[in-house]
Amino acid sequence: PAGFEFLLASSTSWSLRVSLRSLHNKRLYLAAFAAVLGNFTFGFALVYPSPVIPALEAHPNPELRLDQHTAPWFGSVFTLGAAAGGLSTMLLNDCLGRKLSIMFSAVPSALGYALLAGAQRLWMLLLGRLLTGYAGGVTSASIPVYISEISHPGVRGMLGACPQIMAVLGSLCFSPNFAIVAGLVLDWRWLAVAGEVPVLAMLLLLCFMPNSPRFLLSRGKEEEALGSLCWLRGQDTDYTREYEQIKDSVRKQSRRVSCAELKDPFLYKPILIAGAMRFLQQLSGVTCILKPEYDAALVGLVRLSSVAIAAVSMDKAGRKILLFVSGMALSSLPSPSSQGNHFGDMKWWGYSSWGCRAGLHCSVPSTASPLPLCPPAGYAMGWGPITWLLMSEILPLQARGVASGLCVVVSWLTAFTLTQFFLPVVVGTVPFLFFAVISAGNILFTGCCVPETKGRSLEQIEAFFRTGRRSFMR
């Protein structure tokens, strides 16, 4: 009847307006911004060795001077700290909560930068890098989970890409061109002091942000969880309906995961998928730095533009299509033998910006060719941000805190092993062939194992792994 159709249309229109108000609530974006300041600090710390290693190699004080043996460790010890941070987050995420874990990372980060700024011995430099790496590991495991749990399904993809955007922005601070334009050409000690600024800003802002409603419900704090969701969605939205859905999901898995329960596909399948994606991401071929002729600002801008494209399109095109495009782009770096004389020297420097000075010389395209920019662009569009997002989306709440920390440990130990033991011993075209095979495997893995999570709530994603019914993902 016409009256029923009118009521149905009115109800649909009202639901749409409510949903739009939830999406446009500025407080949600403020909370996400406060959290991803930790990723800005992470990007800043990640590339700190790039301008600092040359200065320390020429330092007049022998107690601080780096040589060919200590310079690589100054860069790569960061990864060991990050792995330790991920390991500790397996407990911190569930004991302190997502927000407090991010805030806790400010302590080792501030101490690390203080040691770097006031270093008088080599051990102080290495310990400072280890502590900033530890803080980076904590934020790597906590921030994606926090953002995923507070986000509305309609913007979770966009907000989930923000950590990668902020990490790239942090790394751009050390681009020579950007530094000159901004007037930020500082001594290496003052660069460490500058690193304290985003840490303190993050700590201050997060004091006024709510904790994850899902975490609060898992701890039995129902009123606080309802208030948190109201703050994130807005009072004039139907947040109580979402609250009841979350509460029902939490009730089904209120106990902490046990070893016996890991045999349940509901738990081990998403954990294996998330861990495998972190492992494959590190083996995707972004562990290289091009010649100085490839301006760091240009590469950074390409990465930034690609992440921005991913952020805009992720909630419309979906996660899997971007992973497919990213995998194809990562496999596009040609082998030296296929490009004739259009190659120069390249040095493998750790994770694209750790600043490890010792490494492997290979041949890569010269600056006349745009091909070398394709892999970093493809990585930043898919396998860079989406693997972190999917990790926080598909892991069940019951094991999310522990499993996210485990994934970070896998990621950074793989990176450390790759840069310290694999790249220095391979020669010629071996790295190109290795990374091409891995990238092809990434495409197959995406098609066979990775679920599409676009537009789905975390509870719907959990239901998919619990029941195996794909109707939940449509």
DSSP string, 125-184: HHHHHHHHHHHHHHHHHHHHHHHHHHS-TTTHHHHHHHHHHHHHHHHHTT-HHHHHHHT-
The CA-based dihedral angle spanning residues 49, 62, 60, 194, taken in that order and rounded to the nearest 10 degrees? 30
Average confidence score pLDDT of the chain: 77
The CA-based dihedral angle spanning residues 334, 383, 129, 301, taken in that order and rounded to the nearest 10 degrees? 70
Q: How confident is the model at residue 297 (pLDDT cuts 50, 70, 90)?
A: low
Q: How confident is the model at residue 425 (pLDDT cuts 50, 70, 90)?
A: low
Angle at 218 between CA 217 and CA 221, to 5 degrees: 40
Mean pLDDT of 421-426: 56
Q: How confident is the model at residue 469 (pLDDT cuts 50, 70, 90)?
A: low
Q: What per-residue confidence (pLDDT) applies to 420?
A: 67
Structural domain boundaries in the chain: 17-209+253-473
For residue 98, the SS3 value is helix
233 neighbors 25 (Cβ within 8 angstroms)? yes
Q: Which residues pair with 347 in a beta bridge?
A: 289, 361
* pLDDT at residue 209 is higher than 90: yes
For residue 289, the SS3 value is strand
What size, in residues, is the chain? Answer: 474
Helix (H) and strand (E) counts in the chain: 21, 2
Q: What per-residue confidence (pLDDT) applies to 373?
A: 66
For residue 362, the SS3 value is strand
CA 30 to chain centre: 19
Q: What per-residue confidence (pLDDT) applies to 314?
A: 85
* pLDDT at residue 285 is higher than 90: no
Per-residue b or e along 401-438, where b marks 16 or more CB atoms closer than 10 Å to that residue's CB: bbbbbbbbbbbbbbbbebbbebbeeeeebebbebbbeb
Q: How confident is the model at residue 202 (pLDDT cuts 50, 70, 90)?
A: very high
322 neighbors 310 (Cβ within 8 angstroms)? yes
* Beta strand residue intervals within 59-144, DSSP E: none
Between CA 367 and CA 370 the distance in angstroms is 7
Q: What per-residue confidence (pLDDT) applies to 74?
A: 86
Q: What per-residue confidence (pLDDT) applies to 339?
A: 44
Q: What is the pLDDT of residues 106-148, one digit of tens each?
A: 999 999 999 999 989 999 999 999 999 999 999 988 999 999 9
Q: How confident is the model at residue 197 (pLDDT cuts 50, 70, 90)?
A: very high
Lowest pLDDT segment from 195-204, 359-368, 421-430: 359-368
Q: What is the pLDDT of residues 253-269, one digit of tens each?
A: 656 666 666 677 778 88
* pLDDT at residue 313 is higher than 80: yes
* pLDDT at residue 200 is higher than 70: yes
Share of the chain above pLDDT 70, in %: 74
Mean pLDDT of 400-423: 80
Residue 262 per-residue DSSP state: G
* Structure-token pair, residue 140: 């790597």
Of the options 1.20.1250.20, 1.20.1050.40, 3.20.20.70, 3.30.530.20, the CATH number for the domain spanning 17-209+253-473:
1.20.1250.20
112 neighbors 60 (Cβ within 8 angstroms)? no
Mean pLDDT of 219-235: 90
Residues 6+ apart with CB under 8 A from 166: 36, 37, 39, 40, 43
CA 433 to chain centre: 26
192 neighbors 116 (Cβ within 8 angstroms)? yes
* pLDDT at residue 178 is higher than 70: no
Q: What per-residue confidence (pLDDT) applies to 30?
A: 94
Q: What per-residue confidence (pLDDT) applies to 37?
A: 94
